[in-house]
Amino acid sequence: MNIQNNISLRAYNTFHMDVRAEHFASFDSTDELLSLLQMPIITQQPLLILGGGSNVLFTRDVAGSVLKNNIKGIEKVDEDDQYYFIKAGAGENWHSFVMYCVEQGYAGIENLALIPGSVGASPMQNIGAYGVEIKDVFHSLEAIHIKDGHSSIFTANDCEFGYRESVFKNKYKKTYVIASVTYRLAKKPSFVISYGAIEQQLEKMQVKELSLHSVAQAVMAIRQSKLPDPLVLGNAGSFFKNPTIPAEQYHSLKENFSSLVAYEQPNSQFKLAAGWLIEQCGWKGFRKGDAGCHSQQALVLVNHGKATGAQIYQLSEEIIQSVTSKFGVVLEREVNIY
Ligand code: FAD
Ligand code: NAP
């Protein structure tokens, strides 16, 4: 729980931005966190909680303190006829947690294999991939109020989960530290394989009988074939959200752009594939200096080496402008900007 000063955050964010934090400390337990939250050096300045740093873009040095969540531990806290209730410390690595659940036969998060980051950040934007979002299997979380150290339990309703959204990304941003999350995982799997290329991948792998393991392996294989590994090429995954537009706007766009990629939503809205919109504006594979747009997925902005956060941000600004002027759709950033 040693507080360090003027520390480079390069190793703590997957964009590899070499910005500095005025103060930096990590905590392994809620007791350590509570001690830190009482120290004047921490309380009198801005505070940023960090997990794996895979959904942040640092555009400048961070004033105040960065606290890295290292709370570990996975336990089965309850079970009934249908479900296991599995509680994990916020500092557990998300992918390791998924694979642990797969090995134990706890079903529901196998489609979320290989998403970088920590368990504690998973509710922040209701992480999702391949037709599954954590809200589908979420039971509750424990969060500590940054100002008064009070601990609260949030249910799924309290979290107000939406598409890559929750209260923690909005009205409670910088208000709570998520300390642990409890998931409600099924004893009997309901496989979700109709999304994206999962079925084809399972065929390619000659899987005869579905299992949690085979679905996770298929998802991992697809992701590895398409997405840049942050260890090799700095990035924070999808930089923008897929925009949702009213049916009327969708139909008029479809008339002008017949190959528009869109998915109808239950509320008669249409979700557009932001990657397609960006690609149509000519950005796929674009590179200016070390800031670029990934050559296989235009939704992912990348740092080829020495790009600054400000350069990546500027690129995102230009992308938003060109998509707005071509399609009349304003992209929203998914990555948290600091
Ligand atoms: P960080 O980047 O450390 O933090 C993100 C935000 O949450 C920050 O604002 C931070 O202050 C806050 N925060 C973090 N931990 C806590 C806590 N314990 N308490 C309170 N606030 C906290 N996302 C998806 O949804 N689906 C995907 O398929 C997906 N694929 C990705 C692929 C790649 C290659 C990459 C690089 C990213 C991808 N992401 C994806 C984005 C990212 O991995 C997730 O959003 C992940 O949950 C972020 O976790 P983290 O621990 O790295 O969060
Ligand atoms: P993809 O399979 O090429 O699909 C492109 C987009 O179309 C996706 O964003 C997805 O939306 C949507 N889509 C595809 N099939 C769909 C269906 N059957 N019903 C509704 N929407 C559908 O996308 P990809 O880039 O390779 O990513 C695959 C999955 O991993 C996606 O779910 C994506 O969200 C997730 N992912 C997320 C991040 C991140 O940082 N957030 C990074 C990499 C991958 P959705 O995004 O809404 O699913």
Q: Which CATH number fits domain 234-337: 3.40.50.300, 3.90.78.10, 3.30.420.40, 3.40.309.10?
A: 3.90.78.10
151 is catalytic: no
- Residue of the nearest CA to atom 32 in ligand 2? 129
Q: What is the mean pLDDT of the chain?
A: 97
CA atoms within 13 A on the CB side of 79: 10
Tell me the CA distances in angstroms from 155 to 80, 85, 178, 312, one per residue in order.
18, 13, 13, 36
192-199, Cβ contacts within 8 angstroms, sequence gap of 24 or more: 192/111, 192/130, 192/131, 192/132, 193/218, 194/131, 195/111, 195/130, 195/131, 196/130, 196/131, 196/222, 197/222, 198/111, 198/130, 198/222
How many Cβ atoms are within 10 Å of 121's Cβ, its own excluded? 26
Q: Write down the residue that tokens 């934007």 correspond to.
A: 125
pLDDT tens by residue, 6-44: 999 999 999 999 999 999 999 999 999 999 999 999 999
Q: What is the mean pLDDT of residues 114-143?
A: 97
pTM above 0.95, yes or no: yes
Q: Is the CB of 333 under 6 A from ligand 2?
A: no
What's domain 4-69's architecture?
Answer: 2-Layer Sandwich (3.30)
Of 140, 164, 180, 316, the active-site residue reads 164
pLDDT at 236: 98
Element (H, E) at 138: strand 138-145
Task: Round to whole Å and give the CA distance between 107 and 118.
Answer: 19
Domain ranges within the chain, ordered by starting residue:
4-69, 74-186, 234-337
Residues with CB under 6 A from ligand 1: 14, 48-56, 69, 90, 115-118, 120-122, 124-125, 127-129, 168, 176-178, 227, 230, 235-237, 336
Query: Residue 38, Cβ neighbours under 10 Å: how many?
Result: 9
Write out the CATH class of domain 74-186: alpha beta
Instruction: Report the atom number in ligand 1 closest to the C-alpha of 229.
Output: 34
Per-residue confidence (pLDDT) for residue 217, from 0 to 100:
97
Ligand 2 neighbour 162 (Cβ under 6 A): no
| DSSP classification of residue 227 | S
Q: How far apart are CA 298 and CA 292, in angstroms?
A: 9
Contact by Cβ (8 Å): 245, 270: yes
Known catalytic residue at 164: yes
Question: Is it the case that residue 250 has pLDDT exceeding 90?
Answer: yes
Q: What type of residue is 61?
A: D
Q: Mean pLDDT across the stretch 113-126?
A: 98
Active site residue 20: no
